[in-house]
Amino acid sequence: MYYPLPPRPCSANRDYPRQTTAIRETRVTEPLLRISGVTKTYPGVIANEDVSLDIHSGEVHALLGENGAGKSTLVKMIYGLIRPDSGGMQMNGAPFTPTQPRAARAAGVGMVFQHFSLFDALSVAENVALGMEDPPRQRDLAARIQDVSQAYGLPLDPHRIVGDLSAGERQRVEIIRCLLQDPRLLIMDEPTSVLTPQEVDILFQTLRKLTDEGVAILYISHKLEEIRSLCERATILRRGRVVGQCVPRDSSAREMAEMMVGSSFAAPARTRRDLGDVALEVRALSLPPAHAFGTALRDISFAVRRGEVLGLGGVAGNGQDELLAAISGERRAARDMVHLSGDPIGHLGPAARRGKGLLTVPEERLGHAAAPDMSLTENAVVTGAQRRALVQRGFVQWGTARRFAEEIIAQFDVRTPGPDSAARALSGGNLQKFVIGREVLQAPNVLVVNQPTWGVDAAAAAAIRQALLDLAADGVAVICISQDLDELMELSDRFGALNEGRLSALRATDALSVEEIGLMMGGAHGMVMAHV
Amino acid sequence: MVRLERRAKPSALWAVLAPLVAVLITMCAGGILFAVLGKDPFEAIATIFWEPLFGEFAEFYRPQLLVKGGPLVLIAIGLSLGFRAGVWNIGAEGQYIVGALCGAGVALAAYPAEHALLFPAMILAGLAGGWAWAMIPALLKWRFGASEILVSLMLVYVAERLLKAMSLGVMKNPDGMGFPGSRNLQDYPSAHNAEIFADTGLHWGVVAALIAVIASYVLLSRHVLGFHIRLSGQAPRAARFAGVSPGRLMLFCMGVSGALAGAAGLFEVAGPAGQIGISFNAGYGFTAIIVAFLGRLHPVGIALAGALMALTYIGGEIAQGDLGLPAAAIQLFQGMLLFFLLAVDVLTHFRLQFARKGTM
């Protein structure tokens, strides 16, 4: 049994006694959802082992854990996507065994996924109708969408095409899709990863309004500060097991992080560096979008010096991928738009740019930075061919390539049986360490990384950030594109934000406030704040 | 309830086992098919798989294994490069025909001059003809993004028309008493792709197929181009990231598969077939697709699969003659092989999960 906690501890009252009989009495009501002793195994992995937790109406309950801790498996079971091997769930005291999402929805469970399932070419109302068992007429539905969006402070026009919406607005579509079904439990999977600070505020106000109405929210995240400000209780998972529960407001972010990781880890050390010459310069870079829903790059100019870390923030889909492709050479631009150490390279392809020392790590690990079904040795050849001389007279030197892969594995603490493992078999964090290490060990002049710690566990993220800082200390120019503002603040000397394919003015990070960053990122896309 | 669960990595065991299991299932399903047609299934299967190798007239049939297998392997090797890179040349049959027409055209133009370089010139013409025919879909895809699958397939029918026009027109044998078809190149020593050792079935096309097997093995396992081909097929974005130009790689793969199919056509018309005729093409270009997949797109696998498919061709002909099986039944049999292979292949990437009851 876990110690019972008040459903809504008052954050103002820090001295709130934790375990008194008085509080026990407030807990006579049945929990909305009780999960008891749930276990789910996959071949070779125990995803959930004897997980128990209670979720009460009107609370925001955080589910904390590193990647691979079993958070997704647990919520998928609640949402009826997978079935537990043993253990059970109760909803309002009655057995709850959803065999498919439809059953879970009927029981009042709604879920907003991390990756949206929306059709770009359809309107908001059409997208919502697609998810419904028995959709009403478009006109009625549009009216209902408008009602719900106003009631909960989520401004959204039902007639707009989803392809034109920002990530924050797309998320609103998913939330409204759930709210239309009057859920009693709303599951949110890392909802703020795609939002600006202002959009996060709007979302939090909506969530608080929902809990005031008695809706329970199961909130998955690894952003600890955000959990501390929003959630009443937190359950922490590690390697599939519940390792603790806490009241986030009464715990420090560091305490929670250490519970997640199971050990303490060092924060990256950043030292002042002397900046060298300009290593990479982008001049008035403009590129049309590569596909219908891509982002055009508009007149982007910046320069990075040796030894400097430039952080580029912005909400996803504002030109990050396009900028990386233009720098890596996957998309060619005019000759003079990109300069490396003073030489124009805008017209060169990826291999030629690598030869000159411009190395990149794209966001997507599987399928872009690495080939999923190929071994780590083969993946080492993907970008190491030029600088590590892995190809000679047209023939791949597999022995050298294997030693290179082993070197990456050893130096970057990649947990894997060996260089023959397929990239797909590695966890996100380990594969990310591998693809970052692959570039770092090629002695770059300029390294550009996109979302270096996306979906990576805390310990691996710390190691990756440290590697980037070490590289800068050695006089490499580093550009870090990320949506994690904490990370950018921690790493970068200067900060700029991408918004609709434009780059804001670059500012020194030490002097920036969160509000300023929000404005640089384009605010909440011209939206008014919620009126709740 | 049975469910499919994705394996952490493709099963190496099933990658090898799948073709064998597929052959077994095909034998069973084929047996049922033959039984429904009113034939003894065991006899029919034995006729197809046993008779050509160890039967009464095996002496006569065994060389045929090389004769039929040579072009299948040569075409399949070319196709496999493209298939590995995600380039789907389905029109090898057309490239095979055009290669044969070009090669035979050189010989017929030179007739009756004898020259040692005539046959090498014919090979070059065959390669060039197949290459050029494959360049049509390749360039259309490169320039306009047209599906190479549809265009290359449709060009097969164009090539078949061309074949008929040639056998009735320009290439018709002037001494043929009005019958359609060209002169017989077997009677033209400089142009004849004769057996290297008599009665073995080993002609220059078989040698070319063996060279192609070895070259493609080296290319795929050692050369950076082969690495880029595999990378493009498995992760196109990673390939572009590595610096591969998808357009150029597509042109290369289409070109090689077309050229090899064209060469196969030339070796066939100058050797076993002997002449350009209305029904010159025997479906090697299509069967080679099955061979490529049955051989796991691996050079050695393709060599083995080519032998197996050659066996069904020969066995099928025997079964037609001895048991009166319709020709379509044999084609169906070959098609089933690919069908079951693709089905069994699921087990390479997924495992079957039998849900236990009463666990909830």
Residues A197 and A71 in one domain: yes
Can you tell me the distance from the alpha carbon of B339 to that of B337, in angstroms, rounded to the nearest whole number?
A: 5
- Please give, rounded to a whole number of angstroms, the shortest distance from the CA of A375 to a CA of chain B: 10
Residues A31 and A98 in one domain: yes
Q: In this complex, do B238 and A349 lie within 8 Å of one another by their Cβ atoms?
A: no
Q: Is residue B202 part of a domain?
A: yes
Nearest residue of chain A to residue B232 (CA atoms): A371
Structure tokens given for A280? 């990479």
- Please give, rounded to a whole number of angstroms, the shortest distance from the CA of A151 to a CA of chain B: 39
Q: In this complex, do B237 and A364 lie within 8 Å of one another by their Cβ atoms?
A: yes
Q: Is residue A271 part of a domain?
A: no
Domain boundary among A378, A408, A443: A443
- Please give, rounded to a whole number of angstroms, the shortest distance from the CA of B90 to a CA of chain A: 25
Confidence (pLDDT) at B356: 55
- Report H helices in A350-498: 350-355, 376-384, 398-411, 428-440, 458-473, 485-491
Residues A420 and A474 in one domain: no
- Cα dihedral value A389, A394, A399, A403, nearest 10: 30
Residues 88 through 117 of chain B touching chain A, CB cutoff 8 Å: none
The single residue listed with the structure tokens 């997208």 is A127
Domain ranges, residue A495: 276-357+444-532
pLDDT at A20 over 60: no
Q: Of A354, A369, A424, which is closest to B9 when you measure between CB atoms?
A: A424
Residue by residue, pLDDT tens for chain B (360 residues) are 677 777 766 777 888 888 889 989 999 999 998 899 888 889 888 888 888 888 888 888 889 999 999 999 999 999 999 999 999 999 999 999 999 999 999 999 998 899 999 999 999 999 999 999 999 999 999 999 999 999 999 999 999 999 999 999 999 999 888 888 999 999 999 999 988 988 888 999 999 999 999 999 999 999 999 999 999 999 999 999 999 999 999 999 999 999 999 999 999 999 999 999 998 988 899 999 999 998 989 999 999 999 989 998 888 888 888 888 888 888 888 888 889 988 888 888 788 777 654 443
Residues contacting residue A90 through CB under 8 Å, at least 6 positions apart: A33, A34, A36, A96
- Please give, rounded to a whole number of angstroms, the shortest distance from the CA of B231 to a CA of chain A: 7
Residues A371 and A314 in one domain: no
Would an 8 Å CB–CB cutoff place B237 in contact with chain A? yes
Residues contacting residue A315 through CB under 8 Å, at least 6 positions apart: A166, A167, A168, A194, A195, A196, A199, A483, A499, A521, A522
Structure tokens given for A57? 């109406």
Backbone angles phi, psi at A243, to 5 degrees: -105, -5
Alpha-carbon Rg of chain B, whole angstroms?
22
Domain ranges, residue B111: 69-298
Q: Of A328, A372, A391, which is closest to B224 when you measure between CB atoms?
A: A391
* β pairing state of A507-508 and B2-6: unpaired
Q: What is the DSSP letter of B184?
A: -
Can you tell me the distance from the alpha carbon of B253 to that of B135, in angstroms, rounded to the nearest whole number?
A: 10
Domain boundary among A443, A461, A485: A443
Residues A52 and A198 in one domain: yes
User: Do the Cβ atoms of B212 and A350 come closer than 8 Å?
Assistant: no
Confidence (pLDDT) at A268: 58
User: Do the Cβ atoms of B72 and B297 come closer than 8 Å?
Assistant: no
Structure confidence by residue, pLDDT tens digits, B79-136: 999 999 999 999 999 999 999 999 999 999 998 899 999 999 999 999 999 999 999 9
Q: Is residue B294 part of a domain?
A: yes
Angle, alpha carbons B79-B84-B90 (nearest 5°): 35
User: Do the Cβ atoms of B334 and B290 come closer than 8 Å?
Assistant: yes
Output the CA torsion sign for B94, B96, B100, B103: positive
Q: Is residue A374 part of a domain?
A: yes
Would an 8 Å CB–CB cutoff place B6 in contact with chain A? no
Nearest to B10 by CA among B345, B344, B348, B346: B348
Alpha carbon of residue A248 to chain centroid: 21
Interface of chain A against chain B, CB under 8 Å? 42-44, 83-86, 88, 97, 328-330, 349-352, 354, 360, 362, 364, 366-374, 378, 381-383, 385, 391, 394-396, 398, 421-422, 424-425
Using 50, 70 and 90 to split pLDDT, how confident is the model at A260?
A: confident
Q: Is residue A134 part of a domain?
A: yes
Residues A227 and A84 in one domain: yes
Residue B341 host element (H or E): helix B327-349
Contacts of B351 in chain A (CB under 8 A): 43
User: Do the Cβ atoms of A383 and A359 come closer than 8 Å?
Assistant: yes
Q: In this complex, do B8 and A367 lie within 8 Å of one another by their Cβ atoms?
A: no
User: Do the Cβ atoms of A522 and A196 come closer than 8 Å?
Assistant: yes
The single residue listed with the structure tokens 């919502």 is A128
Contacts of B227 in chain A (CB under 8 A): 378, 381, 396
Structure tokens given for B4? 């499919």
Q: In this complex, do B245 and A349 lie within 8 Å of one another by their Cβ atoms?
A: yes
Alpha-carbon Rg of chain A, whole angstroms?
24
Residues A232 and A255 in one domain: yes
Can you tell me the distance from the alpha carbon of B151 to that of B128, in angstroms, rounded to the nearest whole number?
A: 19
What is the tally of structural domains in chain B?
Answer: 1
Residues A351 and A464 in one domain: yes
- Please give, rounded to a whole number of angstroms, the shortest distance from the CA of A344 to a CA of chain B: 18
Q: Hey, which bits of A56-197 come out as E strands?
A: 60-64, 86-91, 94-95, 109-112, 185-189
Partners of residue B107 on adjacent β-strands: none
Q: Is residue B310 part of a domain?
A: no
Q: What is the DSSP letter of A266?
A: P
What is the tally of structural domains in chain A?
Answer: 4
Q: In this complex, do B231 and A43 lie within 8 Å of one another by their Cβ atoms?
A: no
Domain boundary among A164, A181, A198: A181
Contacts of B352 in chain A (CB under 8 A): none
Contacts of B252 in chain A (CB under 8 A): none
Nearest to A78 by CA among A86, A69, A88: A88
Would an 8 Å CB–CB cutoff place B223 in contact with chain A? yes
Q: Buried (b) or exposed (e) across A132-166, using 16+ Cβ within 10 A?
A: eeeeeeeeebbebbbebbeebbbbbebeeebeebb
ipTM of the complex: 0.85
Residues A353 and A495 in one domain: yes
Provide the percentage of residues in chain A whose pLDDT is more than 90.
40
Residues A307 and A243 in one domain: no
Q: What is the DSSP letter of A2?
A: P
User: Do the Cβ atoms of A40 and A84 come closer than 8 Å?
Assistant: yes
| Beta-carbon count within 10 A of A302 CB | 18
Structure tokens given for B292? 């490529």
Q: Is residue A113 part of a domain?
A: no
pLDDT at A9 over 50: no
Structure confidence by residue, pLDDT tens digits, B323-342: 888 888 888 888 888 899 88
> CATH no. for residue A94?
3.40.50.300
Question: Which of A13 and A213 is assigned the larger pLDDT?
Answer: A213
The single residue listed with the structure tokens 């007739």 is B111
Task: Tell me which amino acid residue B50 is.
Answer: W
Structure tokens given for A185? 């439990």
Can you tell me the distance from the alpha carbon of A166 to that of B76, in angstroms, rounded to the nearest whole number?
A: 48
Question: Which of A214 and A26 is assigned the larger pLDDT?
Answer: A214
Q: In this complex, do A374 and B235 lie within 8 Å of one another by their Cβ atoms?
A: yes
Structure confidence by residue, pLDDT tens digits, A300-331: 999 999 999 999 988 777 888 899 999 999 99
